[in-house]
Structure 1
Amino acid sequence: MTLNYVVQGIWSLSALGLVVLVLLHSPKGDGLGGLGGQAQLFTSTKSAETTLNRVTWILTVIFMTLTVVLSANWLPR
């Protein structure tokens, strides 16, 4: 196993994890309730949502960094 295959595996797992985490997010759109300002009454910050946002951002950075590394062929084959 070369380093290239290991990085590709991590890249694939981060892509899959990113898709799952994005699907787990709650919708942030107000819809028609945002017109009258009623959507602001029921919003609250939760630690689970904050943690989900942080993990999503971390996986995004990992995915984008590995995308650049793999596409630039910086790893030995």
Structure 2
Amino acid sequence: MLLTTILKVIWMVSAVGLTAMVLLHSPKGDGLGGLGGQAQLFTSTKSAETTLNRVTWTLTVLFMGLTVVLSAGWLDVAATAPTP
């Protein structure tokens, strides 16, 4: 029960953090030019944007992983299993 509560708190914090990270991203504005790859010629990747992308992806993986674990009920089954 305690593990489930801790994971739910981490899940909620990752949801809020992921929302904040997505809102912090600058709009790309590629339009249809992004389809052919021409937009890559004139842009440079900044260190701050790279870090922002890494944090966003980390929070995405954490959020999605915890969503699967918490919704599948795997922890509830382990907690209610009889001990020999």
User: Which TM bucket (shorter chain)?
Assistant: 0.7 to 0.9
- 1:9-60 Cα deviation digits (max 9, x unpaired): 000000000000000001012358x5xx78954x221000000000100000
What CA distance in whole angstroms lies between the structure 1 residues aligned with 2:39 and 2:3? 53
Cα 1:30–1:72 change in 2 (3 A) is same
Partner SS, residue 11 of structure 2: helix
Q: Is the 8 A contact 1:30 1:39 kept in 2?
A: no
In structure 2, relative to structure 1, the CA distance for the partners of 1:59 and 1:40 (3 Å cut) is same
Partner of 1:66: 66
Q: How does 1:1-77 map to 2 (within 5 A)?
A: 2-31=2-31, 34=33, 40-41=41-42, 43-76=43-76
How many residues get paired?
Answer: 73
Amino acid aligned to 1:21: M
Unpaired runs of at least 5, structure 1: none
Percent same amino acid at aligned positions?
67
Q: Post-superposition, which runs of at least 4 consecutive aligned residues in structure 1 deviate over 3 A?
A: 37-41
TM-score by length of 1: 0.81
